[in-house]
């Protein structure tokens, strides 16, 4: 009886708190942000619901924020351009939060510069070599601070300008994906010398190569990708890292680097030919569904616009294939609880 009463009191408290907010609160990835904003605005056209409030801040902000707790002082949905890790889900479990993971599409990671500057045509391995904090010394016997000052120091064919790349901070899913795909896998996972030295220091997977340079070659520029685009147009010798959708939206002024002979295009990313790409997600909190109005309808709104010819595709999001799309629809309908085993 006491247990039943306690549960009832918790449910009443949650409902009472939730009644103070009649709109959906969403935060997280700056890459998912424009797509989530489009969906939120579409839902807001329904007079039954207020337009959800969508904020950026980075994937870490979204994944942590949705796990921070239950109640309307916490967000309802977290956006991410890097998948939740087991450690992040454990934080959810600690706070009693249950989630369902929804994959909504794909996005490429591009290195871009002003169209008035020299386009970067480079291998993914050399790109990682240019930006990782440490590289092997000349005789391949030890790690040293990255000595490369100019792109042309790597190969004469590369631009004869200083390596200066604007990019997101450590809270960003874009950065997490970039350092894994480029620094770790394409450089330290493929370069024979770097791979050998990584193994010798007990780092067979090359995770230590994810560390980015800090002396000015890589410049953290916050979570607002539009500001990076602005900086590229102000300094024609600089480059920037952001999601393909921002390249697509600013194609009149910036151009994407060619990686391993492949240009970042909608078709190349969708086919997998362009290797620097990742999945996009949102994580919905079970305990807020049915309490904060419109969450189920918000998920349904994604279904209307994420197809091959949908408005999200027009905005630069690479759509899921038919099989994955069906799987995600099933998840929205059945809301399976995300478990640690699902992430391994």
Contacts of 165 (CB under 8 A, 6+ apart): 111, 131, 217, 218, 219, 238, 239, 240, 241
Measured in Å, how far apart are the chain's first and last C-alpha atoms?
A: 40
Kind and range of the H or E run holding 269 = helix 266-271
Place of tokens 């950065």: 175
- Give the count of alpha carbons within 13 A of 321, CB side only: 6
The b-or-e profile of 295-324 (16+ CB within 10 A means b, else e) is: beebbebbeebbeeebbbbeebbbbbeeee
**339's tokens:** 């478990």
Domains and CATH numbers, the chain: 2-106+278-343 (3.40.190.10), 108-277 (3.40.190.10)
Return d(Cα 194, Cα 92) in angstroms, integer.
Answer: 37
Contact 74, 333 (CB under 8 A): no
Contact 276, 259 (CB under 8 A): yes
**89's tokens:** 């889900």
Burial of 192 per CB tally in 10 Å (0-12, 13-18, 19+) = exposed
Place of tokens 């220091």: 201
Contact 306, 105 (CB under 8 A): yes
Pairing label, strands 165-167, 218-220? parallel
Helix (H, G, I), strand (E, B) or coil at 262: strand
Give residue-wise pLDDT tens across range 82-139: 999 999 999 999 999 999 999 999 999 999 999 999 999 999 999 999 999 999 999 9
Burial of 263 per CB tally in 10 Å (0-12, 13-18, 19+) = middle
Return d(Cα 33, Cα 219) in angstroms, integer.
Answer: 22
Per residue of the chain (344 residues), what is the pLDDT tens digit?
333 333 333 443 444 444 568 999 999 998 999 999 999 999 999 999 999 999 998 999 999 999 999 999 999 999 999 999 999 999 999 999 999 999 999 999 999 999 999 999 999 999 999 999 999 999 999 999 999 999 999 999 999 999 999 999 998 888 999 999 999 999 999 999 999 999 998 888 888 899 999 999 999 997 778 889 999 999 999 999 999 988 999 999 999 999 999 999 999 998 889 999 999 999 999 999 999 999 999 999 999 999 888 899 988 899 998 999 999 999 999 999 999 999 97
């Amino acid at each position: 009886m006491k247990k039943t009463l306690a549960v009832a009191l918790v449910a009443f408290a949650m409902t009472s708190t939730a009644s103070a907010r009649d709109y959906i609160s969403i935060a997280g990835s700056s890459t998912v942000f424009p797509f989530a904003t489009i969906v939120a605005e579409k839902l807001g056209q329904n007079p039954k619901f207020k337009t959800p409030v969508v904020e950026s801040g980075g994937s870490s902000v979204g994944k942590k924020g949705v796990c921070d707790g239950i109640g309307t002082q916490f967000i309802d949905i977290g956006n991410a351009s890097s998948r939740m890790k087991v450690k992040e889900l454990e934080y959810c479990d600690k706070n009693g939060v249950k989630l369902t993971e929804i994959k909504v599409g794909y996005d490429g990671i591009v290195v871009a510069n002003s169209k008035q500057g020299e386009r970067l045509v480079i291998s993914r391995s050399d790109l990682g070599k240019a930006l990782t904090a440490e590289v092997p010394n000349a005789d391949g016997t030890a790690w040293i601070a990255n000595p490369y000052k100019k792109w042309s120091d790597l190969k004469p064919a590369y631009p004869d300008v200083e390596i200066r790349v604007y990019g997101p901070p450590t809270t960003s899913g874009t950065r997490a994906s970039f350092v894994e795909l480029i620094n770790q896998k394409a450089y330290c996972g493929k370069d024979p010398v770097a791979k050998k030295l990584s193994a010798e220091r007990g780092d067979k997977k090359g995770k230590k190569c994810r560390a980015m340079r800090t002396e000015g070659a890589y410049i953290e520029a916050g979570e607002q990708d539009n500001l990076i685009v602005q900086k590229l147009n102000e300094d024609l010798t600089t480059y920037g890292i952001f999601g393909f959708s921002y390249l697509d939206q600013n194609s009149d002024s910036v151009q994407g680097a060619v990686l391993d002979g492949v240009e970042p295009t909608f078709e190349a990313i969708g086919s997998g030919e362009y290797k620097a790409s990742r999945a996009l997600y949102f994580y919905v909190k079970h305990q807020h569904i049915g309490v904060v109005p419109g969450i189920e309808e918000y998920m349904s709104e994604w279904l209307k616009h994420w197809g091959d010819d949908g408005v999200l595709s027009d905005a630069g999001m690479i759509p899921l294939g038919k099989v994955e799309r069906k799987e995600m629809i099933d998840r929205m309908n059945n809301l399976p609880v995300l478990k640690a085993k699902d992430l391994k």
